[in-house]
Structure 1
């Protein structure tokens, strides 16, 4: 891979890619693309498995860029964020055995892209969360003002997201990582090129991720918002790791039970996180003052009441997690 003197990708390489295509026709938008299952063999080396895992996450991201219409693409934005999180998790997980400047650059660029998409996603989720309180609050002018304020910010976030995805930098990110994967542009422990090393690595990595999750989620229902955030990060990494490597293990029943439990736990923690984010978005709207303040106060109370159910769910999730048998044991 051609690199400049400072270790980055040379201008010659960066100049090649055309911008990623975003569908802008007036036809009904195509369906969003979910992550495809990753099929690995017990005989795979870790290097082979890593290349497949990185490529799957990159394909997931690029497919949704191509499917994103100019007007609205809530699920495509969500899937792109998932793809970028999975890619960053995979690069971080593999770092103990293989790493290098190309992967670290991809990880940083994935984070930057995810941050831009995150703003659009937050307003999408918040808009959906307002449906319940709106039904109770009725057609009050204050709620109309709140919805209008949300839509203005959402539209601005989408403009930023579309601009970023249509930029040369987004295309370069995809093309440079594809090239790095094709050329195996990383440093690697030679043992990780051996047949069967993927499963050896996976068993150790999944055990480590599970232990970290158990530690971070101890007393989940009573954790502070910051501690709960750290537990949520550990949960995502444990789930993504299991999704990357589950095909290496034959016990499908145990695998499905483990993944279902982590998915359910993530949904519950995600709901609590959405309420915390919603309050910060209301802070932004409230700073303007005006007609939306009354509806904003009502909505905060609605979310506070809903959070009680989230705490009960957290207690059940922690207990279920402790009882789960690792499918890789």
Structure 2
């Protein structure tokens, strides 16, 4: 925060005192995931240690930001950090196994779910502001809808804060840090061989790509649930590409990840509309005064969702043309 102070001039100087703006530390901002740096000599186990640690770093870097300002972006980044951790544990499942990994994955999923509920209300609010709000203006029913939304959002944020601050969350972080340091898991023999990270990465990425292609077949005819499954597959493939990109030509790897992210975001927009209907159900149950605006918003989103068919056809074609960077 800036603070204005005065500074005196030399004795006899007729001019008024100087006005000086003293600038304090910058406001807390949410932190994105840092790149994972692997070496060609790393084993698959070495790679896992680095990937797990980076995901935990991402989550923990946003804890003080959330505590300071509870920004929507800090919630989003904490959730992403936990999703990346869960994806990483799943990705290395054939190479590493043990109770510590399964416990961490389960706890990460639980916390991410709570953060996700808060995040859903933020996204819903953004969707309203970007579309229906312009048509509804100050209509009383819409004001009631916004009041109900804020009530539900505040409750979700309280639950998120309680979860972040509870002793179990600190225990989860400490326990998994310890497990990583001690490599507290059972590693497959080939996972500990020097240089095995590259071969493991190629096999894992090939598997993830095949899953994406399978789930994208006939995408325009798929149900919303099936499209959501593809979005999850895209997300896991993108995380995998980002985890291992330092082992391969960087430009190709970054282009691959960027293409997946673009398709994921496009599908995500339509998944958000499905989520919005569930949130509107919660609002309708709380506020009869919001029912008129709620019906209008549902219709608005249903109309917007029609564009999903064209987007799906384009996404499927792009996926088919996307060449692996690890071959």
User: Is this a same-fold pair by TM over 0.5?
Assistant: yes
1:165-180 equivalences in 2 (<5 Å)? 165-180=164-179
Following superposition, the deviation at residue 238 of structure 1 comes to: 0.7
Counterpart selection for 2:82 from 81, 84, 96: 84
Tell whether 2:204 aligns with 1:205: yes
How many Å separate the matches in 2 of 1:62 and 1:295? 39
Deviates more, 1:142-151 or 1:281-290: 281-290
Tell whether 2:196 aligns with 1:185: no
Following superposition, the deviation at residue 72 of structure 1 comes to: 3.0
Give the conservation status (yes or no) of the 8 Å contact 1:74–1:121. yes
How many Å separate the matches in 1 of 2:26 and 2:36? 30
Indicate the residue corresponding to 1:10 in structure 2.
Answer: none
Following superposition, the deviation at residue 29 of structure 1 comes to: 4.6
Give the conservation status (yes or no) of the 8 Å contact 2:55–2:85. yes
How many Å separate the matches in 1 of 2:69 and 2:189? 49
Indicate the residue corresponding to 1:150 in structure 2.
Answer: 149
Deviates more, 1:154-163 or 1:310-319: 310-319
- Describe the SS at the equivalent of 1:291: helix
Give the conservation status (yes or no) of the 8 Å contact 1:70–1:162. no
How many Å separate the matches in 2 of 1:77 and 1:28? 19
Q: Normalising by structure 1, what TM-score?
A: 0.89
Following superposition, the deviation at residue 211 of structure 1 comes to: 0.3
Indicate the residue corresponding to 1:258 in structure 2.
Answer: 256
Give the conservation status (yes or no) of the 8 Å contact 1:54–1:90. yes
Give the conservation status (yes or no) of the 8 Å contact 1:81–1:114. yes
| Unmatched segments (≥5 aa) in structure 2 | 1-24
How many Å separate the matches in 2 of 1:204 and 1:71? 42
Counterpart selection for 2:317 from 304, 319, 322: 319
Moved over 2 A (4+): 69-72
Where relative contact order (Cα < 8 A, 6+ residues apart) is larger, the structure is 1
Indicate the residue corresponding to 2:160 in structure 1.
Answer: 161
How many Å separate the matches in 2 of 1:318 and 1:71? 40
- Describe the SS at the equivalent of 1:130: helix
Indicate the residue corresponding to 2:235 in structure 1.
Answer: 236
Give the conservation status (yes or no) of the 8 Å contact 2:145–2:287. no
Give the conservation status (yes or no) of the 8 Å contact 1:45–1:192. yes
Go from structure 1 to structure 2 and tell me whether the alpha carbon gap of 1:202 and 1:259 turns closer, same or farther (over 3 Å shift): same
Tell whether 2:131 aligns with 1:135: no
Indicate the residue corresponding to 1:3 in structure 2.
Answer: none
Deviates more, 1:173-182 or 1:190-199: 190-199
How many Å separate the matches in 2 of 1:188 and 1:297? 54
How many Å separate the matches in 2 of 1:76 and 1:289? 29
| Unmatched segments (≥5 aa) in structure 1 | 1-26
Give the conservation status (yes or no) of the 8 Å contact 1:146–1:295. yes
Go from structure 1 to structure 2 and tell me whether the alpha carbon gap of 1:39 and 1:84 turns closer, same or farther (over 3 Å shift): same
Give the conservation status (yes or no) of the 8 Å contact 1:29–1:67. no
Indicate the residue corresponding to 2:14 in structure 1.
Answer: none
Give the conservation status (yes or no) of the 8 Å contact 2:148–2:287. no
How many Å separate the matches in 2 of 1:255 and 1:101? 33
Indicate the residue corresponding to 1:56 in structure 2.
Answer: 54
